Amino acid sequence: MSVAQWALLLVMYGHMATADDLDFPEVEAPPIQQTGLASWYGDGSWHGDITANGEAFDPTQRTCAHRSLPFNTMVLIENRANGRRVWCRINDRGPYGYIKEDGTWDFVVSSSPEKNWRGILDMSIATAEALGTLEVGLQQVHLRYWTRPSRSHFHLAVMNP
């Protein structure tokens, strides 16, 4: 190894300290949580239609639509009215019902945070059935999900002269 390479390594690792001196960030132990109304969609007439992530909608699968969570995020949905919980995968966008100023509600395809959205989640029939919400249509639910740590985009290359 050349002197220049040793110097580069010293500069790179010279700031390192012992483990006792390091300030480790806390792990995001509690999940991100969200509470709001959930509805179910897809009475079967949309079976096979393409969802926002490009897959065919299957009402027998535990999938759901959320306006902003990344596709394939697994969420734990809890119906606190009956204590049922179910895991569900985000594969679509929605719900798109919003409450207007006069108290009525309308429908618009948008992800604008400015809207007073009527709900936070649209669920497949299978998900709604597992939560016991088919009969009521709209149900107050509690979501929990965990974010994945982002990968570092830093790559170090040391070239030999």
pTM, two decimal places = 0.67
- Between 127 and 107, the more confident residue is 127
Q: DSSP 3-state assignment of 13? A: helix
Classify residue 102: in a domain, yes or no.
yes
Burial class (CB in 10 A: 0-12, 13-18, 19+), 64: buried
Classify residue 11: in a domain, yes or no.
no
Domain count of the chain?
1
Classify residue 62: in a domain, yes or no.
yes
Classify residue 152: in a domain, yes or no.
no
Which secondary-structure segment (H or E) carries 10? helix 3-13
Range in 78-82, 95-99, 149-153 the model is least confident about: 149-153
Q: What residue numbers bound the domain in which 73 lies?
A: 32-145
Classify residue 17: in a domain, yes or no.
no
- Between 53 and 17, the more confident residue is 53
Q: What is the pLDDT of residue 142?
A: 94
For the beta carbon of residue 88, count every other beta carbon within 10 angstroms: 26
Angle ∠(139,134,59) on CA atoms, nearest 5 = 110
pLDDT band for position 24 (50/70/90)? Answer: very low
- 8 A C-beta contact, residue 68 and residue 111: yes
Classify residue 161: in a domain, yes or no.
no
Classify residue 18: in a domain, yes or no.
no
Range in 36-40, 89-93, 97-101 the model is least confident about: 97-101
What mean pLDDT value characterizes the chain? 76
Highest mean pLDDT among 45-59, 92-106, 142-156: 45-59
CATH of the domain at 132: 2.40.40.10
The Cα–Cα gap between 55 and 130 comes to: 22
